[in-house]
Amino acid sequence: MTLTEGLVRLIRAKPVDSNDLAKAALFVLDTVANALAARGTEPGTILRRWAKEQGRGQGRDAGRDAFLMGGLVHILETDDLHRASVVHPGCVVVPAAFAVAGRDGAAGRAVLEAVLHGYEACCRVGMAVGPAHYRIWHNTATCGPFGSAMATAALLGLDDPQAVHALGNAGTQAAGLWQFLDTGAMSKHMHAGRAAEAGVVAADLAKLGFTGPPAILEGDKGFFAGACPDADPLAVLGNAEAAWQVHDTSIKPWPSCRHTHPVIDAALELHGDIGGEDVAEIQVQTYSAALDVCDRSRPESEYEAKFSLQHCAGIALTDGEVGFSSFDSGARKRVAALAARTSVAVGEPFATDYPGAWGARLAVITAGGRRLEAGRTHCKGDPELALSSAEMTVKARHLLSYAGLDDGAAEALVDAILALADDGQLPDLDLL
């Protein structure tokens, strides 16, 4: 039995209860709100213009619909994250499920079960790729196609062999490199869109008899061999009796890279203790992956600031809050000097605990010589410090307001998505 054969069997054997469906509905709500809120951003405007020029909205090309929605979801940096796999599952799985369900008429429980299947697939593959993969490859882009394919396979009613073919051809499309970080290019959004589209296409083809390699993960010329020098293949099927991976997925309360969040959390705690005193220095200790992606003392764009430990520490400490305006040119200028006086380093226990826990410690030295410290093993929105259902709906309403929806329209959309857990109908989304 290959790993993908085992993965299909594992996922389809897992029971689904009302709590699983309710959790999936909340994550769908978060993903949809992120997509709508990003429409007016610069990359969102480009994606929508491209979609209109392709004639989207005039037909039912589910792959292209998934690409558009996936790209939008990943723009504002407030979409969900699964820590152990370092995958953003929502921006890949939910767009695929919505696109296929919208095309084929599925709704309610079927959509949410497909979402559960998709999260499980991409997160389990992500937990197996190893830390060396993440230094070059963007896990959401490379592991995401397995999730979108598995979600689509559920909605299409593919049998197990067909689902294995879908995963095989999803995996052979795995791609997405971190090089965009050097210039703040928009590639990251395309990564999410392509991962969503790849799985839809792979599963649609599998339904027609198009075959894929069943050993795409562990084969001599497969995904692990080509891109994962320290892969842990046993992780794909390990701990099969665990709860659905959606329960281990974090929700992001702030619009920046998740690696910056424990630092933000700690800085917000210390904000009130500074008492207006000048800060001479900030010292950050965290895990190496956070430095690999977010060591950026002089961010020159809004996007670079979202991937800057130094800027995020400075803005949270200075303002006592973090929002969409915390990364614009004005915010960057206000804390530029403080960011330049912020040092970042790998420290324990954070290095050892990652990726099971994403933590950090912040030390602030004031001009008067006081030293203040705060640390986080976990941060707000992690399963250990999870947002409540009420807090998640508040976040969604905030995003929908940012998207321009009035209170009535926002409330109707929230209600419709949450009603999917009671087998409600799929709401129409105006992404164009």
pLDDT beyond 60 at 40: yes
Predicted local distance difference test score (pLDDT) of residue 262 = 96
Confidence of residue 59 (pLDDT cuts 50, 70, 90): low
Of all residues in the chain, what percent carry a pLDDT higher than 70?
A: 99
Mean of per-residue pLDDT scores for the chain: 96
pLDDT beyond 80 at 136: yes
Predicted local distance difference test score (pLDDT) of residue 170 = 98
Structure confidence by residue, pLDDT tens digits, 374-427? 999 998 999 999 999 999 999 999 999 999 999 999 999 999 999 999 999 999
Is pTM beyond 0.75 here?
yes
| Contact present, 37 and 99 (Cβ < 8 Å) | no
Confidence of residue 346 (pLDDT cuts 50, 70, 90): very high
Q: How far apart are CA 418 and CA 361, in angstroms?
A: 37
Confidence of residue 341 (pLDDT cuts 50, 70, 90): very high
Predicted local distance difference test score (pLDDT) of residue 6 = 98
Torsion of Cα atoms, 284 then 288 then 294 then 296, to 10° = 70
The CATH number given to 3-253+386-422 is 1.10.4100.10
| Contact present, 15 and 380 (Cβ < 8 Å) | no
pLDDT beyond 90 at 38: yes
Residue range 341-360: mean pLDDT, rounded: 96
Predicted local distance difference test score (pLDDT) of residue 55 = 77
Which pair of structure tokens corresponds to residue 329?
């040119």
Phi-psi region of 185 (alpha: psi -120 to 50; beta: other; left: phi over 0): beta
pLDDT beyond 90 at 354: yes
Structure confidence by residue, pLDDT tens digits, 81-123? 999 999 999 999 999 999 999 999 998 999 999 999 999 999 9
Residue range 184-212: mean pLDDT, rounded: 97
Predicted local distance difference test score (pLDDT) of residue 85 = 97
Predicted local distance difference test score (pLDDT) of residue 54 = 85
Predicted local distance difference test score (pLDDT) of residue 60 = 72
Q: How far apart are CA 280 and CA 365, in angstroms?
A: 6
Predicted local distance difference test score (pLDDT) of residue 407 = 96
Predicted local distance difference test score (pLDDT) of residue 360 = 97
Predicted local distance difference test score (pLDDT) of residue 2 = 98
Residue range 38-42: mean pLDDT, rounded: 97
Confidence of residue 222 (pLDDT cuts 50, 70, 90): very high
Structure confidence by residue, pLDDT tens digits, 225-273? 999 999 999 999 999 999 999 999 999 999 999 999 999 999 999 999 9
Confidence of residue 161 (pLDDT cuts 50, 70, 90): very high
Predicted local distance difference test score (pLDDT) of residue 424 = 95
Confidence of residue 56 (pLDDT cuts 50, 70, 90): low
Structure confidence by residue, pLDDT tens digits, 262-295? 999 999 999 999 888 899 999 999 999 999 999 9
Fold of 258-376: 60s Ribosomal Protein L30; Chain: A; (3.30.1330)
Domain ranges in the chain are 3-253+386-422, 258-376
